[in-house]
Amino acid sequence: MERTFMAIKPDGVQRGLVGEILRRFEAKGFTLVGLKLMHVSKELAEKHYDVHRERPFFPGLVEFITSGPLVAMVWEGDGVVASARKMIGATNPLSAEPGTIRGDFGISIGRNLIHGSDAIETAQREIALWFSSEELVSWQPAAVAWLVES
Ligand SMILES: Nc1ncnc2c1ncn2[C@@H]1O[C@H](COP(=O)(O)OP(=O)(O)OP(=O)(O)O)[C@@H](O)[C@H]1O
């Protein structure tokens, strides 16, 4: 089953948008398989944004991502990588469509609330970077156990 990595960035956590963001992906029908509130180390932030290492905004981006707790998540479902990117909206919230998370809640490119993997291969790399396999749940056996018990 397809999986994607997403992170509610420190601005989203500070603004109290965690519940709203989780609600949107749950309501859409995707399945949450990993979730943790954490402070990000400089090392992890730099690895995550490695492709942007040479960009002028890189130091500020790393500083921001490590500035407060963020919510790291893994979601599962058919087409979840592309669909989540659509639900998140364009990188610059001022250009993001209303109805998207960035379009509804943001105005600043440097404070754009949420990250979502941009491709299936990127998602695999990011999930492995942020989560150990023990931190990810498998829903199927749990559902089967519940059926057997009831
Ligand atoms: N010109 C910029 N100035 C400041 N920050 C920027 C700029 N461009 C990108 N960023 C920051 O770097 C992040 C990564 O940029 P990228 O082009 O990968 O966008 P994205 O894929 O929409 O965002 P993310 O990777 O966070 O999901 C952006 O989310 C944004 O926070």
pLDDT per residue as tens, the chain (150 positions) = 999 999 999 999 999 999 999 999 999 999 999 999 999 999 999 999 999 999 999 999 999 999 999 999 999 999 999 999 999 999 999 999 999 999 999 999 999 999 999 999 999 999 999 999 999 998 765 565 666 655
9 assigned binding-site residue: yes
Atom of ligand 1 at shortest range from CA of 51: 18
Sheet holding 114-116, edge to edge: 31-38, 70-76, 3-8, 114-116
- For atom 22 of ligand 1, the residue with the nearest CA is 91
Burial category of 133 from C-beta neighbours within 10 Å (exposed 0-12, middle 13-18, buried 19 and up): exposed
- With a 6 Å cutoff on the Cβ, whether 95 touches ligand 1 is no
- With a 6 Å cutoff on the Cβ, whether 48 touches ligand 1 is no
Go through the domains of the chain in sequence order and give each one's CATH number.
3-146 (3.30.70.141)
CA angle 115, 121, 122 (to 5 degrees): 25
